[in-house]
Structure 1
């Protein structure tokens, strides 16, 4: 075995940051590598929010298209784009769900007008869930609310949010993790009490 072959075999795989730099130089294979590396996680996050295969696939495509478009400004954590991809996926998924709610509301209004109100209880339940999520987020501390806004809505990385808020990266990561856990706990508690 040649020395160059041994070096290649023992070299660690390139980070996402390195791959994005290669993309900027026109290397399409680098972007395909990032897609293969993270597409399963992105799809899993999307499907948990939108709960529909077709919508999850759309979110997957939109997320990686956004990564390509914003490749110059993506925030990497330890060389990985995964935190940014997860936040972007959640944002894209929530937007898709809201769009679905609006379409359902328009459809519901049409059905009410024609006196065939099918699925009104589902639409009402979805609106109620959205309102409840807003209430839970409003019940978080001011710092947690800002972190949720910056990381999950505005798609900032932990590092970017930390700089904007004047706190450490670890503070952002830990507070966001606690906020997510509280959201899950509150929603699970309500399901149990129904």
Structure 2
């Protein structure tokens, strides 16, 4: 299946509201439908999130053309990796924002590595709470962190990479020089342990 192309300028003016519980639930369902290959849901996801993700890219890159190119890459990545999204681990907007930040950082590393330190300082100075910050403050996130810390050594890190940062299993396996099947098995067992821990 070919990746559908997102239009990085068409719907940007229709910014979504800050996500409340209902908005988060609806967006989670849309992203899960994208994971099943639903192109209509992909278009809906783009309409509801592109303004926010473009804002993240533009703030980090400070160049509109580069931000639009990265935004395009973000949505191609979302289409390809939507099946790795788990609403039990993070909200859709948190997952999407993490991909946008990582893609922008990748672009900075390739083109303007000297800007990374300055960018990190801005991130610390920014007092506006992001969806990721709000999630981290929640009781659910605190419980999740405790359960992640209880996993075998480094397995919690693998789960964070896969579900918060959008890293694929292939990338993780390559980075650690382990078979892909081994990495999938580690993460699968870790998710089962997390589920048990969170249900206590």
**Under a length normalisation based on structure 1, what TM-score does the superposition of the two structures give?**
0.46
Say which structure is richer in helix: 1
